Structure 1
Amino acid sequence: MSRLEKDFLGEKEINKNALYGIHSVRARENFPDNSMFHLEWYKAIGITKLAFFLTYKTFKKNVIEQEMLENTPLSLIDDLIITALIETAEEVAEGKYFQNFIIPAIQGGAGASINMNINEIITNAALIRMDLSPGDYDQINPIEHANIFQSTNDVIPSSLKIAVTKLLIDLNEQINELKLEVEKLEHQNKNKLRIAYTQMQQSAPSSYARLFSTYAEALSRDLQRISKCNEKMTMINLGDRSLETGVPVPEIFIKELMPTIQKLTNHNFNRSKNLSDTNNNYDSWVTVHAFLKTHAVNLEKIASDVRLLSSDLFGAKEISIPQKEAGDYAMSGKNNPVITEFVISAAHKIYANDMLITSLSAQGSLDSNAYLPIIGNALLESIKLLTAANKTLQENLFSNIIINSDLAEDRLYHSSTITNALIVYIGSHKAAKLAKEMQKSGKDIFRVNSKLKIIDPDKLEKILTPKNLLKMGFTINDLTEFSG
């Protein structure tokens, strides 16, 4: 069974019970893609529509109380319709009817198809709520009622900022959880020695605590950047219906709209001082995603380090990671580093998204940007990928990493790089002599020193304790105690 809907282009047969309408069907035909629109953005549009309907209810009350109807041609929407629109928008804000959103994420039209699909969903669901039939637009209309005092230009970008803000809260929490897990490992391995590597070569004595501390510091900076992202998202352009001004919108409506949004979102959104700037220029999206990309860079570095240190390339492993997948039958027992590989893959998708957002943000033409849908899709995807990456690193990797500290320390004492710690006490020539013999014999520094008798064994043991190896610099007392 179907119903017939019309627009100025002609007619379309629509499924009788569908909540979408002719605008959505035309868009679906024009954009035959299967990329999924983000549910979070859909919900945020529901919140924005709800704010408009609630504000309209207040606006109507003020008009009636001030007895302005007699002197104006303004026609007010019936209270029953307003109530139906409010209740339906509340449901959309919770994600209901999402199966009737048929527009793909990648599309043309600057988001007009997104706006109309949701207008039709709200309209037809409201009609059903009033015991009327979907498509009965003489009673409730997708443009005259569901889009009252709104336009794509303000609803869609403002809703995107609401969705981004909510997702950034989740991302912030996941980064913090990962940071806490990393800090726990840092404290547990405070004096656990390891060899530091530069240019993939053994370089100097270090510790696992120092390595983990670098990850924690990077994540701390990422948390600061995410906070700045939220700041960039606070300015929205609701009321910018005609691109340049709010002329087609009642002044009192514009004043009441922002407090309503703040109450519904529990977030301090504010109207941009320059509505046209917010709509015309997308540098804020570029800035926000640049911060997200920076976080992806840090996560890739962390994941790459763990993947390398836990690999079979090192022989016996100083770091053991939890086995999360069994592998195929031909290689049973093989522990593939799937968590780190997921994180690295996600990071590179985010880098690609960054290029897309940068280039298409520059494609804005005069007073609008036609590419907001794909920019928003990429931005939301990046945030969700980062949230997932932090979550799996924390839950499936760092919470169960095992450090073989005895093996790491033994390797350090067998490495000729340990002689760097002796140069200040015995001089570079004697240190080089020790290093050369260590490389030749494969023995640790203590056994080689016993053979060459370069430094007192007791002094050597004291110099090479974690306390001395890891402190910042030497003192005159150290020279007096350990030299000679």
Structure 2
Amino acid sequence: MRLEQDSLGTLEIPSDAYFGIHSQRAVNNFPNNDKFSLDWYKAIGLIKKVYYLAWMEFNKESTIKYPSTVLHFKNISAKEITALIQSAQEIYEGKWFDHFVVGAITGGAGTSINMNINEIIANRALEILKQPLGNYSLIHPLDHANIFQSTNDVIPSALKLATMWKLAELSAQIDKVKQKIEMLEKSFNNCIRIAYTQMQEAVPSTWGRFFSNYSDALSRDWWRVSKCEERIKQINLGGSAIGTGLTVPRFIIVSIFEILKGLTNLPLHRSENMCDTTSNLDTIVEVHAILKAHTVNLEKLANDLRLISSDLFKHQAFRLSPVQEGSSIMPGKYNPVICEYIISICHKVRSNDQLISNMAGLGVLDLNAYLPIIGHALLESLNLLISANLSLSNNLLNKIIKTDDDHDYLKSPVIVTALIPHIGHAKAAKLMNFMKENQTDVLKANAILKLLPDQVITALLTPSKLTSLGFRLKDLEEEKC
């Protein structure tokens, strides 16, 4: 064990731990088991690296232009800053995550998150320099690892960076699902089905149109998600505590953005009003609302596939391939678990949406203290939706089975709706009632009732006629001839 000290006193820290006293106090104060986001962790590492690279440029320029000026923050040697850069790079690569001990949900607007990273960077840099861990007289978590930084600009900026990474991943997964749906749409374009409204038979349609509904909805989802980075591209990096840049050299504020854009190739910009960006989180609420919209389309798709493949559906045109045993007591039972998984995720994301909206509204004056739980919920939703789309694409849409149980649409009484322009509502109702009472199809019923010539009704009820867009007055005239 090693003994570390802060303004509150001392604590014993495991001798081989990269975390330090600030992290240990957070663990004691916030004893929850939710793991912090690895993506956010990596993004913070990259932001720290950007600051160290900017410091190198600043130190070089200031030494040339102001060689005699004594600045307390110029006491970082070339070896030390190189070690800090390497340590930050390793965090960006996801290393040493087991030393990040602070939970996902904390108080303090993210200070504990920032301090845990600072301590990992400082101690790893000490190790690189072959110095004992905790030797903060050489490299300090605050004076060196946190040089020119504040929790209030580093942590939210890293969150937006991590969010952009995950949005790109989600966008790609939505596109894959859309492509699978489009394949189904094309495969079953001319397969007649009876459409349902309010879970009752309605009018004839096709399975191609059925799947096209989801294809277009997912296209809208893809477009909205792909545009989300526009909402969060302005960040407050360099703004320090409240966005004014107090304690940060102007050179650093300008250069960190050029370095960050060069390393990420993302459209990140310094906010025109960093105080606004520091205090208000409505852009995160807006982005998550778009995720919520995606859950609506996902849930409907999953629920509809679950319904049409169920044993309750009397004309089961599709079945979902078994993916795992469905019961511990009933042999040979297979359940629509992928659909249920997706629906569960959709409801979890919508509950996160409520949480984010509520907590974003609780920001007070110049800062929102609840960024940790807001960021955790946002990244959780993104990861869940990526998982939902991945499973939908690989485990459900790839394995839909078309059955031989195609419904003879001519036996459905609702088919008479297509005849209303030709015989009127009253005669169509008469024909429908006759079909129901006698359990016969529309052609046989019409042959008895003689409402239309046989050749006319047969022509009117072909798949191409039933699924064409509306009817033409010319067609009615041709029937009379």
**What TM-score bracket applies, with the shorter chain setting the length?**
over 0.9
Q: What secondary structure does 1:99 align onto? A: helix
Equivalent residue runs for 1:190-209 within 5 Å: 190-209=189-208
1:151 matched residue in structure 2: 150
Moved over 4 A (4+): none
1:255 matched residue in structure 2: 254
- Give, as a single letter, the amino acid of the residue that structure 1 aligns with 2:334: N
2:88 matched residue in structure 1: 89
Give the Cα separation in 2 of the matches to 1:418 and 1:274: 62
Summarize deviations over 1:307-344 as a string: whole Å, max 9, x none.
11111111351111111111224222222000110010
Q: How many residue pairs end up in the alignment?
A: 480
Task: Report how far residue 107 of structure 1 moved.
Answer: 0.9
The answer to whether 1:427 aligns with 2:424 is yes
CA contact (8 A) 1:31 1:106 kept: yes
Task: Report how far residue 74 of structure 1 moved.
Answer: 4.1
Which of 66, 69, 81 is 2:67 aligned to? 69
CA contact (8 A) 1:181 1:394 kept: yes
1:407 matched residue in structure 2: 405
Equivalent residue runs for 1:208-287 within 5 Å: 208-287=207-286
CA contact (8 A) 1:296 1:347 kept: yes
Q: 1:483 to 1:442 in 2, by over 3 A?
A: farther
1:468 matched residue in structure 2: 465
Task: Report how far residue 189 of structure 1 moved.
Answer: 1.1
Give the Cα separation in 1 of the matches to 2:458 and 2:18: 78
Cα RMSD after superposing both structures: 1.3
The answer to whether 1:109 aligns with 2:147 is no
Equivalent residue runs for 1:22-101 within 5 Å: 22-66=21-65, 68-76=66-74, 77-101=76-100
1:479 matched residue in structure 2: 476
Task: Report how far residue 390 of structure 1 moved.
Answer: 1.0
Give the Cα separation in 1 of the matches to 2:2 and 2:67: 36
Equivalent residue runs for 1:435-446 within 5 Å: 435-446=432-443
CA contact (8 A) 1:206 1:470 kept: yes
Give the Cα separation in 1 of the matches to 2:241 and 2:336: 53
1:338 matched residue in structure 2: 337
- Give, as a single letter, the amino acid of the residue that structure 2 aligns with 1:45: I
1:459 matched residue in structure 2: 456
Task: Report how far residue 409 of structure 1 moved.
Answer: 4.0
Summarize deviations over 1:46-70 as a string: whole Å, max 9, x none.
010010011111111111222x131
Give the Cα separation in 2 of the matches to 1:344 and 1:435: 38
Gaps of 5+ in 1: none
Q: 1:311 to 1:108 in 2, by over 3 A?
A: same
CA contact (8 A) 2:182 2:215 kept: yes
Q: 1:333 to 1:482 in 2, by over 3 A?
A: farther
Summarize deviations over 1:350-403 as a string: whole Å, max 9, x none.
110000000000000101011000000000011111111111111111122123
CA contact (8 A) 1:416 1:438 kept: yes
Task: Report how far residue 456 of structure 1 moved.
Answer: 2.3
Q: What secondary structure does 1:137 align onto? A: coil
- Give, as a single letter, the amino acid of the residue that structure 1 aligns with 2:215: A
Give the Cα separation in 1 of the matches to 2:397 and 2:339: 11
Task: Report how far residue 35 of structure 1 moved.
Answer: 0.4
Task: Report how far residue 477 of structure 1 moved.
Answer: 2.5
- Give, as a single letter, the amino acid of the residue that structure 1 aligns with 2:342: V
CA contact (8 A) 2:3 2:10 kept: yes
Give the Cα separation in 1 of the matches to 2:378 and 2:73: 40
Give the Cα separation in 2 of the matches to 1:483 and 1:119: 86
2:300 matched residue in structure 1: 301
- Give, as a single letter, the amino acid of the residue that structure 2 aligns with 1:20: F
Summarize deviations over 1:224-283 as a string: whole Å, max 9, x none.
211221111110000111314113111111111001111111211000000010010111
Task: Report how far residue 222 of structure 1 moved.
Answer: 0.7
Task: Report how far residue 425 of structure 1 moved.
Answer: 1.2
- Give, as a single letter, the amino acid of the residue that structure 2 aligns with 1:304: N
- Give, as a single letter, the amino acid of the residue that structure 1 aligns with 2:71: P
2:324 matched residue in structure 1: 325
Summarize deviations over 1:171-228 as a string: whole Å, max 9, x none.
0000000001001111111111111111111111111111111101111111121122
Q: What secondary structure does 1:195 align onto? A: strand
1:292 matched residue in structure 2: 291
Give the Cα separation in 2 of the matches to 1:280 and 1:30: 25
Gaps of 5+ in 2: none
Q: Structure 2 length as normaliser, TM-score?
A: 0.97
CA contact (8 A) 2:243 2:277 kept: no
CA contact (8 A) 1:84 1:126 kept: yes
2:376 matched residue in structure 1: 377
Give the Cα separation in 1 of the matches to 2:277 and 2:328: 56
Q: What secondary structure does 1:56 align onto? A: helix
- Give, as a single letter, the amino acid of the residue that structure 1 aligns with 2:69: N
